[in-house]
Structure 1
Amino acid sequence: MMEFASAKGPKLMLDESSVLDIGGCFVDGVDIAPGKAVPDDGDARISHSVEGFLFTCGPDHIRHREPIPGRKDGKVYPLHGSASSHPAKILSTRFENGNAECHAVIDIVTVEGQPARIERRWRIDGTTGEVHLEDHVVNTSAQAVPTFLMYHMNIGGKWFDAKTRLEGKMLDGGGFPWTFGPELGGIFCVEALGTENGFAEVRLGPIAAISGKTLRVRFRADTLPHLQVWRNQKAPADVLGIEPVSHRWVSRAELEAGGEFNWLKPGESRSYALSFAFV
């Protein structure tokens, strides 16, 4: 893990062994990542990533274990796509004038055996403490492929209390307590409405354990037009996830039938972005 921090804001632990995703996220000395308090779905490839604050799902698939068309060996799309566990090549890391920036590339082999690349840039504003992520997913294969992306931002539920709420223009009534749904967990996926300057916003807080701060997440709504939120408090799990995502929560076949695949020709790319701050 590589420590990444600026003059203000959280201290992040970036995982060079897996897409340069975020492991620990320390705010006021508290690591708000869920750690072991996450359900194990049996995929050893992502077991360490899902314990961190942010991991990347895609680019070949999201959400469903489904058969790969044309395969006779029984191989299926992995639940979280193929990005996790691919190491990052750090191109540059800079700490200047209180700001922090890291640029890396991650070469991926998809479940279909096709190459792809994520060009990733992390930046922390040393004045505001806001963390910015920019990703460009490039089709480096010789054929057109559909591209998906989902960011899982996981927070340990032990840090929340009855005053902690989810708020955003895309949510019913503008927001509700974090304990939405059935007693031990729930999930929903909505359109990312209420954009400002092309970005949607959702907030989670106040969080007493980090001095009453609220996690504010903004994400690019043209390429991440949906927000999924899930929580699981079925012991030993205790986690809530904020998940900007490129596609609706339906099967791959339904997305394809609806013309909702984002196709990239060889050499083409698609860009995604999000930011978060503790305010």
Structure 2
Amino acid sequence: MKLKAMRGPQVELDPASVLDIRSLVMDGVDLAPGRAIPDDGDARIDHSLEGFLFTCGPDHIRHPFPMADGSGRKYPLHGSFSSHPAMIVAQGQDFCRAVVEICHADGGHSRLERHWHIDGEGRVRLADRLVNTGQQAFPAFLMYHMNIGARLFDDGVRLEGAMLEGGGFGWRFGKEPGGVFCVAAGGEDLATLSLGPMASLGGLSLHVAFSTATLPYLQIWRNQKAPANVLGIEPVSHDWLDRDVLERSGAFLPLQPGEARDFALQFWFGPAD
């Protein structure tokens, strides 16, 4: 299933897994990392991570963590979203709406109402609504993994945004062969950052914007430990802390039965700012 407009990228969606993005082709170049990713031993995530964007949550994010019920079970890597099929409710050349019914690892249930749209200028917009369809409240988590194949980068590519130290730096941050950091996205309604310019795309940069009302943090990850060669831009609902630390700090933000929470992301390609 593909979305396209007069300008901008061609977006291939994945109805088999939450209607995430498999390939993202701009000017004939696919930005998705493909198999240049780490293998974390979870086939769901292995499938999702090789695409350009996958969605983490809603019951958990990041690495597996024991459930508090003493059962010995763990919340799975990056939560329960991945591998849930999407039911398409409306679609056209430049948009797609879908509903995804989610079974949580701990027995809870939720529904993701997803709307993708690409406008005539090539700006891709994602609007998500997460609804608690279960019988109990649960702490809702969400992280968008935008994974870009670092094979496309040279030493001139930079990450730039007001939330970053010094306003930005080269994409090879930290120690080799990679690392991760998480920062507050800022108090604005819409946080923005860019990655580029990429000579492989004729000097264009990838620009990303997301709503800080429900995604108040930005996580950045890179991994160049062979065979991996990937960089991730990851707007996220919670700071990079263990689940129990988040709970003790009052950061869980429970979603009550019948309640909904909205998340929004957009991206486009253009000259470096």
Q: TM-score w.r.t. structure 1 length?
A: 0.95
Q: Does 1:91 align with 2:89?
A: yes
- Secondary structure at 1:242's aligned position in 2? strand
Deviations 1:106-163 (A, max 9, x none): 001000111111000000011x210000000000001111100000000001100011
**Aligned ranges for residues 1-279 of structure 1 at < 5 Å?**
2-72=1-71, 74-95=72-93, 100-126=94-120, 128-193=121-186, 195=188, 198-279=189-270
Q: Tell me the distance in 2 between the aligned counterparts of 1:147 and 1:206.
A: 35
Give how far 1:64 is off: 2.5
Does the 8 Å contact 1:60/1:110 carry over to 2?
A: yes
Which runs of 5 or more structure 2 residues have no equivalent in the other structure?
A: none
Shift of 1:216: 0.2
SS in 1 for 2:66: coil
1:259, 1:247 → 2: CA distance? 11
Inter-partner Cα distance in structure 1 for 2:87 and 2:158: 38
CA contact (8 A) 1:67 1:76 kept: yes
Structure 1 stretches (4+) deviating beyond 4 angstroms? none
Q: Is the 8 A contact 1:169 1:194 kept in 2?
A: no
Where in structure 1 are there 5+ consecutive unaligned residues? none
Deviations along 1:245-264, whole A, 9 cap, x unmatched?
A: 00000011111111111211
Instruction: Please tell me the root mean square deviation across aligned C-alpha atoms, in Å.
Output: 0.9
Q: Matched residues in 1 for 2:9 and 2:119: separation?
A: 11
Inter-partner Cα distance in structure 1 for 2:4 and 2:136: 39
CA distance in 2, matches of 1:227, 1:233: 20
Separation (CA, whole Å) in 1 of partners of 2:87 and 2:29: 28
Cα shift at 1:46? 2.0
Q: Check whether the contact 2:127–2:265 (CA below 8 A) recurs between aligned residues.
A: yes
Q: Secondary structure at the match of 1:33?
A: coil
Could you tell me how far 1:19 is from its partner in structure 2? 0.2
The 8 Å contact of residues 170 and 194 in structure 1, kept in 2 or not, is answered as no
Q: Deviations over 1:176-229 (max 9, x none)?
A: 00000002112110000262xx10001000011111110000000110000000
User: Number of matched residues?
Assistant: 270
Query: Aligned partners of 1:120, 1:131: CA distance in 2, in Å?
Result: 13
SS in 1 for 2:47: coil
Q: Percent identity?
A: 58
Distance in 2 between residues matched to 1:164 and 1:210, nearest whole Å? 11
Letter in 1 for 2:252: F
Q: Matched residues in 1 for 2:33 and 2:241: separation?
A: 27
Task: Tell me if the contact between 2:45 and 2:77 (Cα under 8 Å) persists in the aligned partners.
Answer: no
3-state SS of paired residue (1:253): helix
Alpha-carbon distance, 1:8 to partner: 1.4
1:48 aligns to what SS in structure 2? Answer: helix
